[in-house]
Structure 1
């Protein structure tokens, strides 16, 4: 590998401002909560590519709760960083399995999900040391013990002369102030912890239209602005659904139950949300089995993702506000039925679901985020009203569409029984 043709890059110009302490910190835990567009993930990716090329013995483990979410997040961010630093010639990138190799030295970036713990704890590097880990969207990790397992895997002595140091970088959006991350890293930090908050105002590459999104949010949805705009901890009070738990289960355990699925459309600002689950009306249990949750999906892409996941033969209850999308998906071959909706359909749907215990498979990370933040709205005096917030509701709406025929039947039966 010929390294003579060096490229001179100004890191301050490439990275931007707002992350000086983050860039220089060498303690065990580097924790950054931030709003959307705070460039925390991109800055982290730039740091790792820059410093792996600087430290010949460093190897990196990149982790999310669920492995399948890595390709469209951290893997893509690190590719972006390689391109931004103009060092594509020095990196080998593989997608199956996900892996990146710095060709001059053989250092590697490994990608793992906590849904396969053995693969996280059994990594052996060929060159140098496994000294760094990046936990992206760590809010998804609801059990602190899962993080401790990862923490313990970054172990072993590193010779002082290498200049290397062991460090875990943790990045996330702070949706819920009751999360264990707050108590562990922000309430009681020590010398081994850098706990910082960033927001969109330190991102000098946002244009006027980007900034307008946040100004509109500040005016129309001040509650969301505190978290998604300023990076402050979310205050969760008055959950719509309280009887739920995260628990792994297999198809064999629930295959005899009624399959239900729903689809809520999004595109630029909101994700398209597809939900599939199993309903046990007798035992009053609702099992959340799988999800698709992405922005910018065309109808063709929606069809392809549902087909790839193996759910193209299921009857899907979709948002009736998108008749053209429903027609197009039917032409592709999906069994789409529009939700009926109607007056008070949200309230009746919620009331029906509230009678069930909701069991959520751990891989449904977006469902877990939504249900733990889906709350009743408040009036101007701060009093809860009988209407959910218009936020964290994409999979919640998809779930409500999916059970609509059951909730309507239950409602009709109660009305008929009262006559």
Structure 2
């Protein structure tokens, strides 16, 4: 006769034990009890008579030892000490991080998406027959790695396969948010909107169970000092006050983007609205190959308003291929294209392809000057310019020791932003004047 563990489950997590959805999200703020509930659930499943093959997975295999694997052993020890389970019924392999429940043959194995901290991809072998997956810190997992795992999990042993994901709130542009959630502006306790933060609600999806919790849902398992500390993070009068940590890690809100974001007031417009604008277009070009992409966009400007539309954002394009791509997407072949003047050879090769290319104006402090110019404009970007919007969220200033922006941009996620800077500054000064394949000062 099988032993029967007894669980005291937080009411918030009870749907985990009864829902048959494929995807189950346990997420939110710190100390919410998500890992505890998930490993309790796996202990519940492995000790049932029904067929069960579980998989613990994290970005790096070695990190499982101190997290999911240890958490599961802690849950087991509680049941053994209570007399509900027999420790001898389990075979635990510490090196391979596997668990066998001998009365039924049900097992749990452990894998990593990456083979080591070098982030080299690992092949997820020996996962045939897996019925339940538990992913910790799912926000660290690449979408492509998740998709490969999701596509590989299949068995005819049970009706419903489950993938349980534990994660802290990622940023607005993270693939988890885009795939499964709608975002609404977060509102404070006094009813005012919290700038730069969102509350996430799951999209209508019969295959998703989303359980969002915070420390406030787990108070009975926390001591008074921990509870006080979490409240102090959100108290402007406390020496522990940390607004970003409080909103993201305590309340489980979703951030607008990286702290120190350079462009905060860009607005969306539709492609149809952009196309209907009666203003002459001009173009910006930032050269790239690999890993940096080439970025090419069309712009329109009237007085102090700028409109932009992404046209090319691709890796590994030769200048010959780039010229052909530009000819395919450009609707106004005689309009000026302002390109990075540091690439004079590339500019000349595009000119030789009968493209109307000009070297962008660059001088002392040109990056800072161009950023301030763009920040001073009312700027619209078409909704379908997905890479433009990603850069808008992720292009940021370096942070100082005080965790505040320094005013020095990080040279990353800025390819379309750079071409826009080249285009706006040079078009304003020269308006398509004298062609230059070199640097203008």
Secondary structure at the aligned position of 2:177 is classed as helix
Secondary structure at the aligned position of 1:148 is classed as helix
Aligned to 1:386: 406
Q: What is the alpha-carbon distance in structure 2 between the residues aligned to residue 372 and residue 42 of structure 1?
A: 36
Quick check: 1:70 aligned with 2:76? no
Secondary structure at the aligned position of 1:19 is classed as helix
Q: What is the alpha-carbon distance in structure 2 between the residues aligned to residue 81 and residue 207 of structure 1?
A: 20
Q: What is the alpha-carbon distance in structure 2 between the residues aligned to residue 175 and residue 372 of structure 1?
A: 16
Q: TM-score, normalised by structure 2?
A: 0.50
1:198 alignment partner, one of 213, 235, 240: 213
Q: What is the alpha-carbon distance in structure 2 between the residues aligned to residue 149 and residue 373 of structure 1?
A: 31
Q: What is the alpha-carbon distance in structure 2 between the residues aligned to residue 48 and residue 107 of structure 1?
A: 11
Aligned to 1:286: none
2:180 alignment partner, one of 171, 185, 197: 185
2:160 alignment partner, one of 159, 165, 180: 165
CA contact (8 A) 2:143 2:175 kept: yes
- Give the number of the structure whose residues are more often helix, by fraction: 1
Secondary structure at the aligned position of 2:254 is classed as coil
Q: 1:374 to 1:199 in 2, by over 3 A?
A: farther
For residue 234 of structure 1, report the CA deviation from its aligned partner: 2.6
Counterparts of 1:249-288 in structure 2, within 5 Å, are none
Q: 1:180 to 1:56 in 2, by over 3 A?
A: same
Secondary structure at the aligned position of 2:36 is classed as helix
Deviations 1:99-144 (A, max 9, x none): 11111122111100011466424334xxxx4111011101111x21
Q: What is the alpha-carbon distance in structure 2 between the residues aligned to residue 373 and residue 227 of structure 1?
A: 18
For residue 213 of structure 1, report the CA deviation from its aligned partner: 1.3
Aligned to 2:39: 45
Aligned to 1:232: 253
Aligned to 1:120: 124
For residue 238 of structure 1, report the CA deviation from its aligned partner: 4.4
Aligned to 1:35: 29
For residue 223 of structure 1, report the CA deviation from its aligned partner: 2.2
Aligned to 1:216: 232
Secondary structure at the aligned position of 1:18 is classed as helix
Deviations 1:14-66 (A, max 9, x none): x3332122332111100122211001011100011112212431110111111
Deviations 1:157-211 (A, max 9, x none): 235xxxx521100111113222101111223341001123111011121010110
Structure of higher CA gyration radius:
2
Secondary structure at the aligned position of 2:157 is classed as coil
Q: What is the alpha-carbon distance in structure 2 between the residues aligned to residue 374 and residue 231 of structure 1?
A: 24
Q: 1:237 to 1:114 in 2, by over 3 A?
A: closer
Count of residues in correspondence between the two structures:
243
CA contact (8 A) 1:121 1:153 kept: no
Q: What is the alpha-carbon distance in structure 1 between the residues aligned to residue 396 and residue 43 of structure 2?
A: 34
For residue 239 of structure 1, report the CA deviation from its aligned partner: 4.6
**Structure 1, unaligned stretches of length 5 or more?**
242-246, 249-370, 389-419
For residue 67 of structure 1, report the CA deviation from its aligned partner: 0.8
For residue 237 of structure 1, report the CA deviation from its aligned partner: 3.7
Q: What is the alpha-carbon distance in structure 2 between the residues aligned to residue 237 and residue 132 of structure 1?
A: 33
